[in-house]
Amino acid sequence: MTRRIVTRYTIASPRVTQDVTFAILADLHNGPYEEFLPHIQEADAVLVPGDLLNRHRLGWENAERFIAEVPKLRPVFYSLGNHERKYPAPERRHWLKLVKRSDVVLLDDSVTTFAGVSLGGLTSVRRPEQMNRQILAKLAAMPGFRLLLCHHPEYYPAGVKDYDLDLVVAGHAHGGQVQCFGRGLYAPGQGFFPRLTNGFYYDNRLLVSRGATNSASAPRLFNPCEIIMLKIEKV
């Protein structure tokens, strides 16, 4: 079984009105999540930047339990990744109905607020140039700390960076799957030797998760799965 770790980051900003801690769970891919529950309860809310589903193995029993159970513990904000986009259309529509009937806040090219933080979700598209820039502009115009859930880290240099956002939270790269000397071997959307695989980039404006499970057939090497605990402190 792939090892899972807890990665903790703290950043400070004058734009938050109070200290707030987010548990970040990217790329669950219908995998188990129970061992993360104690850490989720340390947070004020949970951010899921895409891929609760696994398009390679249809079924969502764990994902369905997640959207039913976790919002009872903490507010959950969920944006859509490529596995949701590529899921067969009838099943995808049914899944989205389940999410909308749950207490999860679905950020499907939409925005909301939580604890003084403006939150947005940018939905996965086939090509970065198709991303919904209206949502980016809308979030950038909102008050306070502006945080975007964007499944694809490669979207940041492709256009997200052009907007005044304080932080973009991404997944998708799975830490580069195999890491050698701290660098990933391959990531979808970035190819071999990807640059954006885990941790902070672009002056701490992009945070990439390694992902909470391993959905690919290739094993992870020197690259544990993770939950990120992100604390944003008021300056």
Kindly report, residue by residue over 66-92, the tens digit of the pLDDT: 999 999 999 999 999 999 999 999 999
| Band of residue 112 on the pLDDT scale cut at 50, 70, 90 | very high
| Band of residue 151 on the pLDDT scale cut at 50, 70, 90 | very high
| Band of residue 234 on the pLDDT scale cut at 50, 70, 90 | very high
Tell me the C-alpha distance between 143 and 77, whole Å.
Answer: 19
**What pLDDT, in 10s, does the model give residues 170-194?**
999 999 988 888 889 999 999 999 9
pLDDT at 3 over 90: no
pLDDT at 218 over 80: no
Q: What is the pTM of this model?
A: 0.96
Contact status, residue 46 vs residue 38, Cβ threshold 8 Å: no
pLDDT at 1 over 60: no
pLDDT at 195 over 70: yes
pLDDT at 12 over 90: yes
Tell me the C-alpha distance between 178 and 49, whole Å.
Answer: 21
Side-chain half-sphere of 80: how many Cα atoms within 13 Å?
Answer: 22
Tell me the C-alpha distance between 93 and 204, whole Å.
Answer: 35
**What pLDDT, in 10s, does the model give residues 27-44?**
999 999 999 999 999 999
Angle (CA) 77 2 6, round 5°: 50
What pLDDT score does 217 carry?
63
What pLDDT score does 220 carry?
84
What pLDDT score does 58 carry?
85
Percentage, residues of the chain above pLDDT 70: 97
What pLDDT score does 42 carry?
97
Taking the mean position of all CA atoms in its chain, how far away is CA 97? 20
- What DSSP string describes the chain? ---EEEEEEEEEETT-SS-EEEEE----TT---GGGHHHHTTSSEEEEES-SS-TTS---HHHHHHHHHGGGTS-EEEE--HHHHHS-HHHHHHHHHHHHHSS-EE-SSEEEEETTEEEEEE---SSGGGS-HHHHHHHHTSSSEEEEEES-TTHHHHTGGGS--SEEEE--SGGGSBEETTEESEETTTEES-S-SSEEETTTTEEE---SS--SSSPPBS--EEEEEEEEEE-
